[in-house]
Amino acid sequence: MRDDEENGVLHAGRAFQQYSVDQFIKLETQRLDFYSFNQDLFRVEALAGLLDVLRHGERDASSIGKQSFLPASFVGGPRDMRRRYIDAIALVQHFGKSDIFLTMTCNPSWPEIEEHLFVTDGVQNQPDLVSRVFRVKVEEMKTDILKRNIFGRVAAFMFTIEFQKRGLPHAHFLIILNNEYKLLTPEAYDKIICAELPDSDTNDYLYTLVTKHMMHGPCGSLNPKCPCTEKKDIISLNIQKNLPITHQREKMGIQYIKDEIPAKLENKDAKNLKLLYKEFPEYFVWSKQYRMWTRRQRGTVIGRIVTCHPTEGERYYLRLLLMIIRGSKSYQHLLTVNGVCCSTFREAAEKKGLLQCNNNLVDCMSEAVRYQMPYSLRCLFAMLLIYCNPANPKELWDKFEDSMSEDFKIMPNLNKKQIRHMTLNHINDILHSMSHDINEFTLVPERISVSSAAKEAQDSHFERNIIVRKEDLLLEAKLNNEQREAYNIILDRIFKNKPGAFFIDGPGGTGKTSLYHALLAAIRSKGFVALATATSGVAASILPGGRTAHSRFKIPIDIDRQFSCNISKQSSLALLIQDAKLIVWDEVSMAKKELIEAFDLLLKDLMDTKILFGGKVVVFCGDFRQTLPVIRSGKKRTSYKKACYVLTFGINSKNCDY
């Protein structure tokens, strides 16, 4: 702090808070812009999808996955948080569950804070001062825990810092003690935890601190304004620990990283130690300068291997072998069984007896139970049923039923039978989306019916098998001259496989809906796919097989500057859109232009072309006469209207642009 300098920004009260937030948003926006502007360099897909494409001989990255994603290098993003979460769980797997949950709160009366505040300043209006002081206090607490051993020797710990609504931070610590210091008896807990007031005669200082900082008036419903009832805004889940985690780098996207396994397995010292692959970082460290592995001289590191689904094929079987074979020397060593070199890792695992029983599947589920949520466990269980051919599926179900149904157990008024039924129904939905049924595996005696929840694959099947009504087929004969002209022009483009973007313009009641029905019936009656969408749900319900554009093209409801349609390129929905001969979008005059631009980018990506709307025949419909003006002195034509053929009927044709 510079007391001899006047700084109007630091002492501007709530305006300084707003200034701080604005500056942070600028920095965060720059980071996001970097990834956004470089999206054309990357594509993302689950490894299972990559392997499926590679098996079919595809080598073009533009044919895989989605174009928009946020990599793990973006701090605070979903991939970064998942990696931190798995790192933290690796500590729990290695050392066991935490022994102490410690909360440290910020004291606005700390002298380090008070001596630098002006009389007119409020503590909540000095986030820079409060954050810096609190960080120093947290570091001192870490020193107490790790070096002064106030709880005994610590094996590992994690902490996260959060900010309350009032702007005061607090930290949560999860502490794992060494075995000889673990708290195993009530007497051991009483030595470090006290839930009563200290004796004011024997320990006046501690009594004063407890009564001043740890007690307040009535709380809960008796005092809704008390601090314990305030909602907390989480600012960061910055997981820290005193032990680093080393893990195999995840292979997301089409850019494959040169595998490090041979370099690790060929180290002579590693061969002598007979280590598992995940144990290697505990004894060796990679030197970036000399590009070689050397014996670790100091520090303790926990290794882990990134999890993978059984659907990932050879990578899954390689991981399975690495988890059980010690002292592996090379790929060839892993593939060799009884002196015979196998051609695939699956073959090697099968010859070693790893696929002839449920043991490896039990290990797979047991490992996932430690860190996966019940929803993910059910997805994994369905994958194991389909791709791993378990010898006894019922044994797996009986062993992990409780873990897979934990989220349903917290729902009120559900008995055990209902919880089991809901769990099985969800697993059946997953299996049904992959053309399987849970009744094939006889997990329970009773038969499980298919859930009514619509899956993407079911939607695709529905669209390809829409029954055309007879009255819609007869509409062609009832079209007037202007309707028929539009009808013939659009169908001519479709059947000649030529691109075309049209905008049907006309006031309400001039027969636009009849034209849509006639076009959809003409295409579908010949066995082709025609997608009917609308901006609003009411308009979509009028169209045969109609869906809202947000639902059909996976457009997010809350859009920002960098949003995109969430459709993977090898999904069944992407294939459906690629096969569509006609796309109709009604009430497009109600949609923002950003939605149309995102729709255009989606079609270009799916069709691998730069032609407008991917070269598809797209028919936009609407009436801008029903749209209230929102920009004074704005242009009459919209940005995308100029790029379309405007087919106007019911009004004077001289208003047409083309």
Residue 168 lies in a domain: yes
Q: Where are the beta strands (DSSP E) in 282-343?
A: 284-287, 292-295, 302-304, 336-337, 340-341
Q: How many other C-beta atoms are found inside a 10 Å radius of the C-beta of residue 460? A: 19
Question: Does the pLDDT value for residue 112 go beyond 70?
Answer: yes
Among 8-22, 109-123, 632-646, the minimum mean pLDDT is found in: 632-646
Residues 122 and 244 in one domain: yes
Least confident of 298-312, 315-329, 385-399: 298-312
Mean pLDDT on 298-310: 78
Which of 32, 47, 79 corresponds to the end of one domain?
79
What span, in angstroms and rounded, lies between the C-alpha atoms of 143 and 254? Answer: 44
Q: CB of 573 within 8 A of CB of 456?
A: yes
Round to whole Å and give the CA distance between 16 and 8: 9
Q: Is 48 helix (H, G, I), strand (E, B) or coil?
A: helix
Question: Does 20 share its domain with 129?
Answer: no
Q: Which helix (H) or strand (E) holds 502?
A: strand 500-505
Which tokens sit at 364? Answer: 């797979």
Domain boundary among 54, 79, 104: 79
Domain membership of residue 107 (yes or no) is yes
Estimate to the nearest angstrom the gap between the alpha carbon of 343 and the chain centroid.
Answer: 36
Q: Are residues 53 and 182 in the same domain?
A: no
Tell me which amino acid residue 216 is: H
103 lies in the same domain as 250: yes
Whether 533 is covered by a domain: the verdict is: no
Do residues 73 and 27 share a domain? yes
Cβ atoms 539, 587 nearer than 8 A: yes
Inside any domain, residue 629: no
Instruction: Note the pLDDT tens digit of each residue in 113-134.
Output: 888 887 777 888 888 888 899 9
Domain annotation covers residue 541: no
Q: Which residues contact 638 (CB under 8 A, 6 or more apart)?
A: 593, 624
Give the domain extent around 43: 10-79
Name 73's Cβ contacts closer than 8 Å, sequence gap at least 6: 80
Q: C-alpha distances in angstroms, 595 versus 70, 153, 550?
A: 21, 58, 9
Quick check: is 377 in a domain? no
Q: Is residue 538 part of a domain?
A: no
User: E strands of 11-125, at which residues?
Assistant: 100-105
Please give the residue that has the higher pLDDT: either 101 or 260.
Answer: 101
CA 375 from chain center: how many Å?
Answer: 13
Whether residue 75 is found in the same domain as residue 146: no
Tokens representing 214 are 């740890």
CA 386 to chain centre: 24
Q: Residue 138's pLDDT is what?
A: 93
Q: Which helix (H) or strand (E) holds 169?
A: strand 169-177
Q: What percent of the chain has pLDDT over 90?
A: 13
User: Considering 45, 79, 113, which residue would you say is the last residue of a domain?
Assistant: 79
160 and 19 co-located in one domain = no
Distance from C-alpha of 471 to C-alpha of 632, rounded to nearest angstrom: 45
For the cut 60, the answer to whether the pLDDT of residue 656 exceeds it is no
**Does residue 119 fall inside a structural domain?**
yes
Number of domains in the chain: 2
pLDDT in tens, 318-354: 888 888 888 887 888 888 988 889 988 888 888 887 7
The reply to whether 102 and 72 lie within a common domain is no
Residues 133 and 68 in one domain: no
Q: Dump pLDDT digits (tens) for 218-256.
A: 655 666 665 554 544 433 373 333 344 444 433 332 222
Regarding whether 29 and 129 lie in a shared domain, the answer is: no
Do 105 and 173 lie in a common domain? yes
For residues 29 and 123, state if they share a domain. no
H-only helix segments in 274-351: 280-283, 314-322, 331-335, 345-351
